[in-house]
Homo-oligomer: A and B are copies of this chain.
Amino acid sequence: MKSQAKADTPGSAPRPTPALHAAARVDKERRVEVCLGARSYDILIGEGLLDRAGEEFAARLAGARAVVVTDETVASLYLTRLEIALTSAGVEFSALTLPAGETTKSFAHLEQTVDAILAARLERGDGVIALGGGVIGDLAGFASAIVKRGTRFVQIPTTLLAQVDSSVGGKTGINTARGKNLVGAFHQPVLVLADIALLDTLSPREFAAGYAEVVKYGLIDRPDFFEFLEKHRGAIFSGGQERAEAIATACEAKAAVVAADEREHGSRALLNLGHTFGHALERAVSYDPARLVHGEGVAIGMALAHRFSVKLGLCSGQDAGRVAAHLKTAGLPTKISDIPGPTLERDALIEAIAQDKKVSRGRLTFILTRGIGEAFVARDVDRADVEHFLDEELPQ
């Protein structure tokens, strides 16, 4: 498949150094195109996009109707504005508001969402709009994928994590009692609207969690971007030009990986840096958000991936230290023992890792690294090595 991601901005070299063109585009909207042939789509990044959502929807899906799916927290903050935007653009719609939180990504809520879409008599050319974080995006996207074997899908991500990660790439799904994201579909949106002003109402903890995913792109293969983050972390957190720039770069990084490997046969697996450990931790705390949210799991997971790589003689201890230090400054956990509550069991973690879908014929697959910006897929990791490593990491 011939496909690539490109940023529609001045100086859109394949991998621009973010700092270079930040200055020129402070207030300007950014557009990142995810190039997937007939399924290509735009990610628009900027302030005030929520109020333009109706226009943007109608411009792409002329005459189409919509079902908005959101959660209670987001609805109370932003649903009215979206409704006004849709109405003034003449888009007929109905809205479904679900409880907030990870437990909403369930079969029961999938069925409820599917029913709402069917009740609205959406046809294949009509659109499901996800207004919310990754939970709503994953759930609504999956429902959109399976109703009538595929309706159109639009993402309006409202968390930092959703803007830089879950809304880009077409992975949708739900959790089951046996694990996270074990059920789902690949279903690309036709449009992503990342209104960065919506992040102002996010709790510091949720913002930090999303930031873990931003850091991830630097750690995978953009050492310059990681340096940019080290330098501008304060500004990014307080919300300035650097925040917008970081989000755009992160989207572009994800879009590039997705375009190269839409269905996760190869290079896309790099996006799982920190996620094999991270998912196992989330599972071990039964997805209790009081103890751990996704991005926090990823932060610990990335720190673990670097330390595990050090232990295997792949990565320098200095790089692993730098990664942990940066995550810590951002208010993120970096050790298993940072998780509040009862101590986690090694065997439960190993078990969760083995059940994770990134297992290939019994051997364990991990994303390991040779240093900052040098992550790679290791398909043949010895279970015993993981066990010994976890023994060291877990409090005795």
Contacts and interface: CB of A to CB of B under 8 A. Distances in A.
Contacts of A63: 361
Contacts of A145: 185
A174 B355 CA distance: 27
A178 interface: yes
Given A171-B149, A182-B148, A355-B121, A176 B114 contact: yes
A185 B263 CA distance: 16
A374 B111 CA distance: 40
A197 interface: no
Contact of A149 (B149, B173, B177, B179): B173
A205 to B, nearest CB: 30
B359 A114 contact: no
A176 B118 CA distance: 9
Interface string A178-198: 110011111000000000000
B148 A357 contact: yes
A118 B360 CA distance: 14
A183 B145 CA distance: 9
Number of copies: 2
A149 B355 contact: no
A185 B361 contact: no
Interface string A114-143: 110011010111000000000000000000
Contact of A176 (B115, B185, B263): B115
A96 B284 CA distance: 28
A185 B121 contact: no
A146 B185 contact: yes
A344 interface: no
A147 interface: yes
Interface in A57-81: 63
A389 interface: no
A107 interface: yes
A114 B357 CA distance: 14
Contacts of A147: 182-183
Contacts of A359: 123
A115 B178 contact: yes
A137 to B, nearest CB: 15
Contacts of A176: 111, 114-115, 118
A170 to B, nearest CB: 10
3 residue pairs, one from A and one from B, having the closest CB atoms:
A118-B178, A148-B357, A107-B111
26 contacts: A107-B107, A111-B176, A114-B183, A115-B176, A115-B177, A115-B178, A118-B178, A118-B179, A121-B355, A123-B357, A123-B359, A123-B360, A123-B361, A124-B357, A125-B360, A125-B361, A146-B146, A146-B173, A146-B184, A147-B183, A148-B183, A149-B185, A149-B186, A149-B264, A150-B186, A150-B263
